[in-house]
A and B are shown apart, each in its own frame.
Chain A
Amino acid sequence: MIATVSTLAVAITLIVAIPKMPRWDRVKKSFFNGEVLGETFPKLLDAFVLDIKIFLWSVPIILFIAMLVAVTRNSRSPALFPLRILAVVYVDVMRGVPVLLWIYLIGFGVPGLGLERPWNSPLLWGTVALVLTYATYVSEVFRAGIESVHESQRAAARSLGLSNAQTMRHVVLPQAVRRVIPPLMNDMVSLQKDVALVSLIGPIEILRQAGIDKSKFASFTPYVGAAIIFLAITIPMTRTTDWLLERERRRTSGTRVS
């Protein structure tokens, strides 16, 4: 009840106060122009398909690389020591630099080597940069999950004669993955947004399309349109994540929900 009243109060204040600001008219015309929105929105949606495509291609590859890296880093066999070092260096280097910079470096750098078509596409290498960077973020999430599985679970599995690999596959990973689904979803929401960064090196996806339309109509409305499209995807994802988190919290704190 109190929450509803206070929400309403804030909403009314915003609705009344913002239009009273001195330049509201000009902002409204530039950012919230219905006509421009109507004209540009379909094109934006079309361009957004590329974002979705990049996203859908990236996710499985990211998960695969991330899992490989996480398992390697968690292995204890001395024979894998060089691989472990390699994994640590890879993660540290990729995570230590902004995604955007990697997209520039790999997206312009590799095609610059003079490869043949289609291997010289900035779209391809920009996506590779995105995948390689996000794989390290996600590998850290997986690693935290693996480490959260108590040592006694491994002891129990090993005492039954399961090998290291079987213990990982049947006992540790299923528990680890279940636990990290909410933070994993968080990374996926970020990825969905960061896909737009690939546009900065060429491909016409939604953000770039909005930029083109902005110049054409001399209006910022296309950016607002792009924002609306992003929100339509990311808000449901975020809400689902919160719901999963809440469920996980309830489950682990002992109250059983059936």
Chain B
Amino acid sequence: MQKVVKSFGANTVLNALDLDIAKGEIVSLIGPSGSGKSTLLRCINLLEPIDDGEIWFGGIDISVPGYDPNPVRRRIGMVFQSYNLFPHMSVMENICLAPVRVLGRKANDTKAQALALLEQFGLADKAKSYPDQLSGGQQQRVAIVRALTIEPEVLLLDEITSALDPELVGEVLDAVRNLRNTGMTVVLATHEMSFAREISDTVCMLDGGVIIEKGSPESIFTNATNPRTRQFLSRVNSR
């Protein structure tokens, strides 16, 4: 991403932000509330049009106005803070909707694949349940499986644990660790500093619409050079 600018009215949220993400890399976005982490992820997935700059993905600038967003979104999975499962569909229907409707897969093949994934995420017995019959942690794991079944090249995770009770956070984080082993490229916005430290290859500190500091987890968490990063981390740690 180069010089990406995004404003809501007079409020400039992303101000000429640059970010490179390599294939297979796990990148964490940290920063104060309102710093634009969610907005950045939504821009990557073309859920928000950007005002200026470029977003390159696999050799194409996908941010050009009028570029068809759907093929891009097929290659990018996204999981939201509030799960956003479809309440009128069972777990299995939630998962199979996109593969069948978007990728044109056969329902039976998709089901088999979905069951394997559900198994892998400890949800094998929930295929027929409806979202309101599941705990928050289970719903969020279903949302991860749903994002995975379109076989994305990149997965965007937006504070996927912050709506969960503390005792459910662990199971969802385990699911993400699970992903790491598959070599998936992941960009995640998070307030779980210890998790960001453990899972990431790169940590980016967002503030004032730009990435003010970027580096390995070790360098950011033990040796931040930018005073604002230090201030943010000490405030988070003292909570």
Contacts and interface: CB of A to CB of B under 8 A. Distances in A.
Contacts of B221: none
B209 interface: no
A160 B149 CA distance: 9
Looking at B70, B71, B84, B132, which has the most chain A CB atoms within 10 Å of its CB? B84
A160 B97 CA distance: 9
Interface in B70-102: 70-71, 73-74, 76-78, 80, 82, 84-88, 97-98, 101-102
Contact of B102 (A152, A155, A160, A256): A160
Contact of A161 (B42, B73, B88, B132): B73
Interface residues of B, number: 28
Interface string A132-154: 00000000000000000000110
B87 A175 contact: yes
B134 interface: no
Given A153-B86, A175-B87, A161 B102 contact: yes
A153 B102 contact: no
A74 interface: no
B88 A155 contact: no
Contact of A152 (B76, B84, B98): B84
A166 B97 CA distance: 10
Interface of A: 152-153, 155-163, 166, 170-171, 174-175, 178, 256
Contact of B45 (A152, A153, A159, A175): A159
B37 interface: no
Closest 3 CB pairs of A and B: A156-B84, A161-B74, A160-B98
B126 interface: no
B67 to A, nearest CB: 14
A153 B42 CA distance: 14
A252 to B, nearest CB: 10
Nearest to B97: A170
B236 interface: no
Pick the most buried of A161, A162, A171, A174: most chain B CB atoms within 10 A of its CB: A161
13 contacts: A155-B47, A155-B80, A156-B78, A159-B76, A159-B78, A160-B73, A160-B98, A166-B102, A171-B86, A171-B97, A175-B87, A175-B88, A256-B132
B98 A161 contact: yes
B146 A160 contact: yes
B55 interface: no
A167 B141 CA distance: 22
A121 B47 CA distance: 52
Contacts of B77: 159-160
Nearest to B87: A175
Given A160-B97, A161-B73, 8 more contacts: A159-B76, A160-B102, A160-B147, A161-B70, A161-B98, A162-B70, A162-B102, A175-B86
